[in-house]
Chains A and B, each alone.
Chain A
């Protein structure tokens, strides 16, 4: 049969964000493929060099659309490392609540995304309802639903509002009671299980070759390789949580870990609400005028565990009022570009969207 070229994306219900996968198919089987990024390239790294440190806080959440808070955290951590700044104790705990809520919402979105390529839209709608409840909580805390600009250099923008404790706990109780439903609709549903069991494999050798992190790595190596555990930032060393792993990485195992991580995040947020001390939430970051403060010279890399893996900012300061260079290490960069080129071939066309979904690929952070 003649080889034919097909495009998956940039506008496709199975694609997450605007990136196009070029597929060369023979019948049903993909023979060659590559990702064409660049449709969401907005020149963030150049823009950041031209803005003040404070201004950048409004820009960076846009790097990753489904999970913006990791950008703020990574940027703030990097600048605080350069400034050698100790932020107030309460701010650490508030940051953890925000990050874990964001992780749940990103996991729900990715897990619900399973509904698109498999045709089970009920799952997607259920997941989006719960995600919306998280966005409501974010709106109460930060005033914004998607791009919060809440975690800033020196702490968080302002303290939690009155009565948010009850809202969060109510939501967590509700979500916990619905975890069984999510399993039944998704990974335990007979119609979906055929598509995800024993397909879309990710062997351990591929993990090390590409540099895949996050759920992909933990599902293949069976080791708790989670940055929150191995080099805790914020106060992750003071809360108890498990890192779910598996030793057989098919699509189902990775989705299973996603659901288990949601349960762990619920556990972390409850502990944060219990242990959080009272006090200040923000300190002034540097010397100088109110906005035009400077950051000392230095090179630093600040990694954060996102819902897709290791996400980090490489930051260089020359002592000025804006960063000299900011590099973004997107968590899905290795599997999104090299993975699609090397390991997508061999799967069927209808599994390509599932491949992209379960490998955790987010195109805006590849393009920046």
Chain B
């Protein structure tokens, strides 16, 4: 059972169903393909039948210069140890990616998270629009590159402003005077009452 053979098996499956835009062998256990959006569903279900039946990770990458989101699926086969990354680029202004819930039930929460952090829509997943981790979020999805956490924080939690007449001294609070008194007494004890 050589792992190079596993990558050949993946190659056969992917090439029989699609024309990959890009192939990248990362190491002896991992290979990556970039596919067109319409091929993803078929390739994923074929790979699942061939033994890549664990969805290890599902997420997205933002490429604002190309005006694209890249959705990533990582599958794992424990029998023939190997990982395969399936990536596809979708339009950033109308981000819609059909859900893979029918193939991988475990994708449910990954898709919900991808919707929350990137704003990608997953039709087919009944609950993908429910908020998950962020509570009462009121800005653009935070993992997009045009979201600036510092600006958001400055807007959400404005820093305090002080008038010119501001002073920490409180008229009713005598603690500073008491401290000065105490210091003076201590100095008197040291010097025997003579002023230095």
A46 to B146, CA, bound (A): 11
Most A CB atoms within 10 A — which of B72, B78, B81, B105?
A: B78
> In the complex, how many angstroms separate the beta carbon of A332 from the nearest chain B beta carbon?
12
> In the complex, how many angstroms separate the beta carbon of B49 from the nearest chain A beta carbon?
13
Question: Does residue B53 face the partner (Cβ distance < 8 Å to A)?
Answer: yes
User: Is A41 within 8 A of B26, CB to CB?
Assistant: no
Q: Which of A47, A299, A333 contacts B85 (CB 8 A)?
A: A299
* Category for how many chain B residues contact A: 35 or more
Interface residues of A in 165-207 (CB under 8 A from B): none
User: Is B133 within 8 A of A37, CB to CB?
Assistant: yes
User: Is B132 within 8 A of A38, CB to CB?
Assistant: yes
Question: Does residue B92 face the partner (Cβ distance < 8 Å to A)?
Answer: no
The A contact surface, by secondary structure, is mixed
A301 to B3, CA, bound (A): 17
Residues of A within 8 A of B30 (CB): 300-301
- Chain B 117-137 interface mask (CB, 8 Å, partner A; 1/0): 100000000000000111100
Chain B residue at minimum C-beta to C-beta distance from A209: B105
Evaluate whether A50 and B143 lie within 8 angstroms (CB atoms) in the complex, with A208-B53, A211-B104, A338-B106 already known: no
Residues of A within 8 A of B99 (CB): none
Chain B residue at minimum C-beta to C-beta distance from A310: B56
User: Is B54 within 8 A of A211, CB to CB?
Assistant: yes
Interface residues of B in 57-83 (CB under 8 A from A): 57, 59, 61-62, 72, 74, 76, 78, 81-83
Interface residues of A in 295-315 (CB under 8 A from B): 298-301, 303, 310, 312, 314
Question: Does residue A334 face the partner (Cβ distance < 8 Å to B)?
Answer: yes
User: Is A314 within 8 A of B135, CB to CB?
Assistant: no
Evaluate whether A231 and B29 lie within 8 angstroms (CB atoms) in the complex, with A41-B133, A211-B54 already known: yes
Stretch at the interface among A123-131, A273-281, A284-292, A321-329: A321-329
Could you pull out 8 A-B pairs where Cβ atoms are within 8 angstroms? A38-B134, A41-B134, A46-B143, A46-B149, A217-B78, A299-B24, A299-B32, A310-B56
A225 to B27, CA, bound (A): 20
A37 to B135, CA, bound (A): 10
User: Is A231 within 8 A of B132, CB to CB?
Assistant: no
Residues of B within 8 A of A298 (CB): 24, 26
Residues of B within 8 A of A81 (CB): 26-27
Chain A residue at minimum C-beta to C-beta distance from B27: A81
User: Is B109 within 8 A of A333, CB to CB?
Assistant: yes
